[in-house]
Amino acid sequence: MAAEKLTLVELLNLANEAYADGYLAEYFDPETGERRQGSGDTLAQFIVAELRDTFDAEVSRSAQLQEGRRVLSNAIDDLEGVIEKLQ
């Protein structure tokens, strides 16, 4: 049996469910996952860009979710480094 796959839209919608006010949806087309201009929340824009840029339709759902966690965790590390420097 083939591993279950995740579409780009499903991945973005999962992330959007966890984001305050569902604002990630301002930055992607709900049918295709393509970029939308959006406005006002650059963190939401960044999250959508990271998930879109690392999306691979050929990998399993589990692998795609793991990759999404990896890239967002790397971003957290970068932000924590900046916060530490500013203290």
Q: What is the pLDDT of residue 29?
A: 95
Q: Give the global pTM.
A: 0.90
- Helix, strand, coil in percent for the chain, rounding step 5: 65, 0, 30
Mean pLDDT taken over the chain: 95
Using an 8 Å Cβ cutoff, are 24 and 80 in contact? no
- Say yes or no to pLDDT of 3 above 90: no
| Amino acid found at 27 | Y
- Say yes or no to pLDDT of 1 above 70: no
- Say yes or no to pLDDT of 2 above 70: no
